[in-house]
Amino acid sequence: MSSSRVTSFSNDALTFDVVDEGPLDGDLVVLLHGFPERASSWRGVTALLNAAGYRTIAPDQRGYSPGARPRRRRDYAMPRLAQDVVALIDTLAAPVHLVGHDWGSAVAWTVAAHHPDMIRTLTAISVPHPEAFLRAMRGRQLVRSVYMGAFQLPKVPELLARRTGGVMDRAMRARGMKPDEVARFRTEIVEDGALPGGLGWYRGLPFSRQSCPAVRVPTTMVWSDGDGFIDEAGVRFCADYVEAPYELVVLEGATHWLPSQNPDDVAAIVRRRVEGSPATVQ
């Protein structure tokens, strides 16, 4: 295990920024953010995990780190996104407890499925296993994912996001973001130039289709019943894609933005998974 702070790592001729906090000799917990957020979305969670003795590693992922913003859609295909995380774990030189939210959850499922030797435990927040998500698209999930089609339009979402208080800001608030989170979206994503890269994850979907095997590491799936993006069906299907100890934890009355809005719950759930204690199963 790396005994010095990791502030960046490289993969695919790109350089990624990393926030490395907590005791250097603590168990490694890697946290993968979603859209449209960066490593800062984990601040509340990492503070609690650090206080409990864990070393947290939160990267700004592909499209978000200033040194890792390729332009081609195919550069955001899932195999490349997953390989970035593999490169990070190689840099850390030890297996990790992997946590992902939103798109970060999709990547975490993929890495855990294809590289179980690198992953000690998995905590997936909001987004289910890729195969479970695809099954759910035959039902109500399709309606909840209509926005993904709009994100395929070149330059249009970027233009809509330019105006403070405009369409994009209102859409974020409508899906549960608080004013401070919308302000962070505007500063860290729009003004910093990370929006095209973040949208690249959606635009890379046509290049991403690959089967994702079952996960064979201890796993917790976390979902909130107030999530406006993810239908419950895909969450319930997840049990079919885990061949290891598995838990589903449902947070009642919470929105999609669990790491920033419910850090106490998320940190406690991660710790229960890491420490092998039972969680409340719904």
Tell me the catalytic residues: 102, 202, 256
- What angle (nearest 5°) sits at the alpha carbon of residue 184, between those of residues 207 and 50? 90
CA 250 to each of CA 135, 225, 235, 256: distance values in angstroms, whole numbers, following the listed order = 20, 7, 10, 12
d(CA 274, CA 218): 9
Residues 104, 62: contact at Cβ < 8 Å? no
How buried is residue 276: exposed, middle or buried, by Cβ count under 10 Å (0-12/13-18/19+)? exposed
Peptide bond into 36 cis (omega under 30): yes
Tokens of 39: 């490593």
Which residues are CB-neighbours of 155 under 8 A, at least 6 positions away?
A: none
